[in-house]
């Protein structure tokens, strides 16, 4: 299909982009931010989105950084999936990010799609949201009132909706630098390579000096109208030795948080069961990595 007509604006600086969004919003028109466009453009072609304006931020310099600073891994708004995959820093210390980006679509898409756009789109079927929930990441939003930080647990508000204001741009993702004896994993079930997940689970674990679970985050993909954090499973795991029985019970608790919808990928019961199975696998892999295996 052909997208409906819209006005196209190219911002050369971040303040210019924010000013454009603020101005266009005052006119009562909907404006969308365009970075990689790999989520937005298909919606336009299917006419599921009909913004009157697109504000292209893809040419703004200085937003494609990956660096550790102030206790965080900082990912700029224009970092492509392929850049994340190729980063030596990410591959050495953040393997769950590599797990995630490697199963997103195909190389053509990953060369254009941005990590920030994957989050800002608010699609519960996207892969990065669950990983960021597992990490306990923060989102930096920049708008006409300045910059604010949003905990990832409060970022996804509804289906395709986030906590970003109409004049705000997701400018940075901040992931706490994992302490020693940490590991993470993202495990995904898909009908074919590059497809959206039937179900997927992300787990990030830090082990204490006695081998007990000191810190854990679990996120579920395509398990409800928003990405889901399995808080009951997290609370159950803290302070316990991660043996097979404990992992199995945590996976069961994670599945109780799922509220998927039936579609061609499976029934509600099947998807819920896959959330359980995949959480168990993600936890086992994350714990193995935390143990240095």
β-strands 7-10, 53-56: how paired? parallel
Residues 6+ apart with CB under 8 A from 120: 33, 162, 164, 170
Q: In this predicted structure, what is the pLDDT of residue 14?
A: 97
The Cα–Cα gap between 81 and 110 comes to 5
Give the E-state strand segments of the chain in sequence order. Answer: 7-10, 31-34, 53-56, 66-69, 72-76, 138-143, 146-151, 156-158, 161-162, 169-176, 182-190, 197-207, 213-221, 228-229
Count of residues in the chain? 293
187 within 8 A of 218, measured Cβ to Cβ: no
Q: In this predicted structure, what is the pLDDT of residue 182?
A: 98
Q: In this predicted structure, what is the pLDDT of residue 29?
A: 65
Splitting the chain (293 residues) into consecutive groups of 10 residues, what average pLDDT does each group show?
87 96 79 91 85 94 97 98 96 96 93 96 96 98 97 97 95 98 98 92 97 98 97 98 98 98 95 98 98 89
- Residues forming beta bridges with residue 9, ordered by sequence position: 55
Half-sphere exposure of 203 (CA within 13 A, CB side): 34
Q: How far lies 101's CA from each of 24, 84, 198, in Å?
A: 33, 7, 17
Give Dmax (Cα) for the chain: 61
């Amino acid at each position: 299909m052909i997208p409906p007509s819209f006005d196209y604006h190219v911002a050369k600086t971040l303040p210019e982009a924010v000013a454009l969004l603020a101005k266009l919003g005052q006119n009562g028109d909907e404006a969308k931010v365009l970075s990689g466009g790999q989520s937005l453009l298909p919606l336009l072609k299917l006419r599921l989105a009909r913004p009157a304006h697109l504000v292209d931020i893809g040419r703004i310099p200085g937003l494609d950084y990956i660096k550790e600073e102030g206790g965080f891994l900082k990912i700029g708004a224009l970092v492509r999936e392929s850049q994340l995959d190729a980063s030596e820093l990410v591959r050495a210390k953040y393997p769950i990010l590599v797990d995630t980006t490697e199963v997103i679509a195909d190389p053509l898409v990953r060369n254009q799609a941005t990590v920030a756009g994957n989050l800002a789109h608010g699609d519960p079927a996207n892969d990065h949201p669950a990983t960021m929930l597992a990490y306990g990441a923060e989102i930096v939003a920049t708008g006409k009132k300045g910059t604010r930080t949003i905990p990832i647990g409060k970022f996804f508000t509804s289906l395709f909706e986030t906590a970003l204001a109409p004049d705000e741009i997701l400018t940075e993702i901040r992931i706490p630098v994992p302490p020693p004896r940490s590991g993470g994993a993202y495990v995904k079930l898909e009908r074919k390579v590059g497809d959206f997940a039937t179900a997927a689970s992300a787990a990030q674990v830090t082990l204490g000096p006695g081998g007990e679970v000191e810190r854990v985050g679990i996120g579920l993909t395509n398990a409800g109208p928003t990405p889901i954090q399995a808080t009951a499973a997290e609370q159950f795991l803290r302070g316990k030795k991660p043996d097979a029985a404990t992992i199995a019970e945590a996976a069961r608790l994670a599945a109780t948080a799922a509220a998927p919808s039936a579609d061609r990928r499976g029934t509600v019961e099947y998807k819920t069961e896959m959330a359980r199975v995949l959480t168990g696998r993600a936890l086992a892999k994350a714990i193995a990595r935390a143990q240095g295996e």
